[in-house]
Structure 1
């Protein structure tokens, strides 16, 4: 695959994922009709997503440690594992939001402002990070180290921020989930 084709593929995947999430958030499409019973396992997905995000945060930190030690093989395995887990997160996230379940944050005052700041930055950066991560992976797997390093200067801190804030958002909103 050449760079031009890879860029087009990354762009297409990023746009499709973004559109699916926008459609689900706008409630245009739901998997379960209004009034139907949602399977109980669906309510576990937010907790699963937080566990996946937490695991990804740890793996990203270990990956950074490994590359600083010049252990390229461990770095590659950790990043591929993190990417797979992040992909599973995305599937789980889409399934949960396809149910039409909505939860509102119930905190008040400064903590509410903090929650929405974390949530909004998390959402925006989650949309931004996907193409950066895909391009970083492409460059890394092709051993284009110079380009990989340039991309990772942006993708790594954003990806780490998104995984950490995903856990924070879950912890803050979890008391308000309707069970």
Structure 2
């Protein structure tokens, strides 16, 4: 490990902490902020659910690429996955700032399944922010031993968040009132 690699990580640590706090807090606050007289954006949920699905595919492809020794392809796929996650976040916030919330209308066991999936999706989407950022910075710093170690945790959690984003959409979409 060189001092330069360590300084790259240190340089980004404050940003990782800041973003890991600011993003979930902003999403929580903005979820309750409505833009007055804004036109609802009912077309966004299927788009951002699709982006979640694309993110899941990109993550799997990236892992397959790195296992085959295709490091540059892995890097590009991961950058695309991060970009997709950011795009999802922007659309998700825009939707919830302009459109009334939809209540899940399922009854019985499916209701409990929905809320379990939704709750784990939300909690892990908060956890995944610092994990993705730390994993990315370790690769950027060329600390591949540490990158690989945390990526083994980050990958399945991020994949779960991406896949459950699609599942949550599919489960609630029959109850949209547009």
With structure 1 as the length reference, what TM-score do the two structures score? Answer: 0.92
Residue 122 of structure 1 corresponds to: 121
Q: For residues 66-122 of structure 1, what are the alpha-carbon distances to aligned partners after superposition, in whole Å with 9 as ceiling and x for unaligned? A: 111111011001000111111100111111111252000000111111010000000
Structure 2 vs 1, CA of residues 37 and 84 (structure 1 numbering), >3 Å: closer, same or farther?
closer
Q: For residues 11-39 of structure 1, what are the alpha-carbon distances to aligned partners after superposition, in whole Å with 9 as ceiling and x for unaligned? A: 101211111111123x2x222x2xx3524
Structure 1 residue runs of 4+, over 3 Å off?
A: none
1:132-143 superposed matches below 5 A: 132-143=131-142
Aligned residues: 172
Task: Please list every run of 5 or more consecutive structure 1 residues that lacks an aligned counterpart in the other structure.
Answer: none
Give the alignment partner of residue 34 of structure 2, picking from 3, 12, 30. Answer: 30
Residue 26 of structure 2 corresponds to: 20
Task: Please list every run of 5 or more consecutive structure 2 residues that lacks an aligned counterpart in the other structure.
Answer: 1-6
Residue 11 of structure 1 corresponds to: 17
RMSD of aligned residue pairs (Cα, Å) = 1.2
With structure 2 as the length reference, what TM-score do the two structures score? Answer: 0.92
1:10-159 superposed matches below 5 A: 10-25=16-31, 27=32, 29-31=33-35, 33=36, 36=37, 38-39=39-40, 42-159=41-158
CA distance in 2, matches of 1:138, 1:3: 6
CA distance in 1, matches of 2:8, 2:72: 24
State the Cα distance separating 1:141 from its structure 2 match: 1.9
